């Protein structure tokens, strides 16, 4: 089995070097047939140069360039659709969930899930560094709106640590339309729509400073994107190829049942 690890990056020069050292060392230690893809989202710093320097001595590492700054959702999609692995994992560049947690996601796929999502709140005691109280409140409100508007019953949709089987990725990601912060709920909404099984997996997680979310401005945008996902569905914009859409299946214990 081959593995792909996708890391979206925007102006990540300060921490990307340390991240790549950890990820590449971990992959070599596992002995995997793997590739690591960094997607540069139009960074204005030397993010791309750092990746190229590492790639000179690490042939498993590749750089994918976005056509300018398009957003995290676009970056994840671009990286996954350019990947070659049987299993594809995307991880935030800050490694808030350590790369050593990756086997938890892979085990969930091996147990029958099509998508495994890291969760900060399924077992909150695994958080090594929590967010501020106002960001926690923002997250709870966002999660409540997801349940009401999109019917997503997960504890945590926004953790930047998710794994896909190749079939699930190649079915869902081409249909993804949201390019910024609310792309995670869109992916999970599509997974349910097309009958893929999603496992929510508790992972170690520690809040990292330097994140770029403004609760008021970005919160309003995420709410708009949430409504857009619902509208796209009602308008028939999400049409998958019948040859690759998963058959409806029983959801994993504690997971929402698929919807046609």
pLDDT surpassing 90 at residue 241: no
For residues 19 and 231, give the distance between their C-alpha atoms in angstroms, rounded to a whole number: 38
pLDDT, position 214: 67
Least-confidence region, from 97-106, 146-155, 159-168, 185-194? 146-155
| Dihedral sign for Cα atoms in the order 62, 17, 74, 162 | positive
Element (H, E) at 21: helix 13-30
Tens digit of each residue's pLDDT (9 = 90 or more) over 145-171: 888 999 999 999 989 999 999 999 999
Domains of the chain from N-terminus onward: 2-234 (3.90.550.10)
Q: What are phi and psi of 171, to 5 degrees?
A: -85, -45
pLDDT surpassing 50 at residue 224: yes
pLDDT, position 142: 77
- By C-alpha distance, which of 243, 172, 3, 201 is closest to 111? 201
- By C-alpha distance, which of 205, 222, 213, 199 is closest to 141? 222
User: What proportion of the chain, given as a percentage, has pLDDT over 70?
Assistant: 81
Confidence band, pLDDT 50/70/90 cuts, at residue 186:
very high
């Amino acid at each position: 089995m081959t593995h792909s690890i996708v890391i979206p990056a925007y102006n990540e020069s300060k921490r990307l070097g340390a991240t790549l050292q950890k990820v590449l060392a971990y992959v070599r230690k596992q002995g995997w047939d793997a590739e690591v893809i960094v997607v540069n989202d139009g960074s204005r710093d030397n993010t791309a140069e750092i990746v190229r320097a590492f790639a000179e001595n690490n042939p498993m590492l590749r750089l994918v360039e976005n056509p300018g700054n398009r957003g995290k959702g676009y970056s994840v999609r671009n990286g996954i659709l350019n990947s070659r692995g049987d299993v594809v994992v995307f991880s935030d560049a800050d490694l808030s969930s350590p790369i050593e947690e990756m086997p938890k996601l892979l085990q969930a796929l091996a147990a029958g899930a099509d998508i495994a999502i890291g969760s900060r709140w399924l077992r909150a005691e695994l958080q090594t560094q929590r967010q501020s109280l106002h960001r926690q409140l923002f997250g709870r409100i966002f999660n409540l709106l997801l349940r009401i508007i999109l019917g997503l019953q997960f504890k945590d949709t926004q953790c930047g640590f998710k794994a896909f089987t190749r079939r699930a990725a190649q079915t869902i990601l081409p249909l993804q339309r949201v390019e910024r912060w609310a792309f995670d709920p869109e992916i999970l909404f599509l997974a349910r729509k097309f009958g893929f099984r999603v496992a929510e997996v508790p992972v170690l997680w520690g809040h990292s400073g330097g994140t770029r979310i403004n609760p008021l401005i970005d919160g309003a945008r995420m709410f708009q994107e949430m409504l857009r996902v619902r509208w796209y569905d009602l308008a028939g914009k999400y049409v998958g190829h019948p040859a690759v859409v998963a058959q409806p299946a029983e959801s994993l214990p504690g997971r929402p049942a698929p919807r046609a």
